[in-house]
């Protein structure tokens, strides 16, 4: 269990907001945070929302992890090299290469930022396009969407951590995603545990 530092209301509002533009404004209203922690928040914001190839275009590089990594997890037996390379890059991007070197407040900020990214992903899992069946002709039921979201979250966190042997490094990431999943759908705990016991579905 990660030791959490108290965040004031403005801080929590920042980490709850999903819209990048609104978050930018909220980021300016975090004066109570220590300068070092505030700098870390700003850096994470820049890293997360800057499109590396086209800086003028909107992007969410952490949300990309949620859409790309499940596909890589499913093809893990055929692309072991790509998976290893991607995981190395992911650890670096998520600042989890050496998590023990992070201070308590840094860990807290990372945890909350991960939860924010997971919440943004899960907010897209309610849409009509998500988990559509049979060549996109049939909409998924609510239960199907929730199960699919649970699978996606499990794959990008516990699943990938396990198959790449990065469970320790990805501990904060896994915990944040799991907690956010339970907030999104408390009933998914059982399915998540089943996935965990079976080692995934693919």
Partner 1 sequence: MKTSSNNLLKSNAIWLVFLAEVIIFAVASGGTFISSNNIVNITRQISYYGIASIGMTFVILIAGIDLSIGSIITLVNVVCAYLMVNMGVNMWLALLLSLCLATLIGVLNGAMVASIGIPALIATFASQTIFEGVAYLISAGRPISGFDPNFGLFGRWSLGPVPICAIIMVLCFAIGSFILNKSFFGRYFYAIGGNEEAAELSGIRVNRIKYLIYALSGLFAGLAGIVLLSRSNSAQSTVGKGLEFDVITCVVLGGVSVNGGVGRMSGVVAGVLIIGSLTNGMILMDVSEYTQMVVKGIVLAIAVGIDCISKKRQAT
Which spans of this chain sit near partner 1 (rule: CB under 8 A)? 51, 57-61, 63-64, 66-68, 70-72, 74-75, 77-79, 82, 120-121, 124-125, 127, 129-137, 143-144, 147-148, 151-152, 199, 201-202
Return the number of the residue (2 or 24) whose C-beta is nearest partner 1.
24
Return the number of the residue (1 or 134) whose C-beta is nearest partner 1.
134
Burial of 181 (0-12, 13-18, 19+ CB in 10 A): buried
- Residue 75 dihedral angles phi and psi, to the nearest 5°: -105, 20
DSSP one-letter code for 101:
G
Return the number of the residue (76 or 106) whose C-beta is nearest partner 1.
76
Note whether 166 and 160 are within 8 A (CB).
yes
Q: Which residues of 34-65 are buried (b: 16+ CB within 10 A; e: fewer)?
A: eeebbebbeebbeebbeeeeeeeeebbebbeb
- Residue 6: CB minimum distance to partner 1, A: 30
Note whether 187 and 146 are within 8 A (CB).
yes
Return the number of the residue (32 or 142) whose C-beta is nearest partner 1.
142
- Residue 127: CB minimum distance to partner 1, A: 5
- Residue 43: CB minimum distance to partner 1, A: 19
Q: Which residues of 133-155 are buried (b: 16+ CB within 10 A; e: fewer)?
A: eeeeeeebeeeebbbebbbbbbb
- Residue 174: CB minimum distance to partner 1, A: 19
Return the number of the residue (5 or 64) whose C-beta is nearest partner 1.
64
- Residue 47: CB minimum distance to partner 1, A: 13
């Amino acid at each position: 269990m990660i030791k959490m530092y108290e965040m004031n209301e403005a801080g929590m509002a920042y980490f709850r907001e999903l819209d990048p533009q609104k978050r930018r404004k909220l980021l300016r209203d975090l004066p109570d945070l220590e300068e070092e922690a505030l700098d870390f928040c700003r850096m994470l914001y820049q890293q997360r929302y800057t499109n590396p190839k086209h800086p003028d275009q909107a992007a969410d590089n952490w949300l990309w992890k949620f859409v790309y990594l499940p596909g890589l997890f499913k093809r893990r037996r055929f692309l072991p090299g790509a998976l290893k390379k991607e995981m190395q890059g992911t650890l670096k991007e998520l600042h989890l290469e050496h998590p023990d070197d992070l201070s308590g407040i840094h860990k807290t900020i990372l945890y909350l930022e991960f939860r924010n990214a997971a919440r943004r992903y899960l907010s897209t899992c309610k849409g009509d396009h998500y988990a559509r069946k049979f060549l996109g002709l049939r909409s998924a039921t609510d239960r199907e969407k929730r199960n699919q979201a649970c699978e996606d979250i499990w794959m990008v966190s516990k699943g990938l951590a396990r198959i790449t042997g990065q469970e320790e490094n990805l501990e904060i990431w896994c915990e944040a995603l799991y907690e956010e999943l339970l907030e999104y759908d408390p009933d998914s705990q059982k399915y998540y545990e089943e996935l965990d016991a079976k080692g995934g579905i693919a």
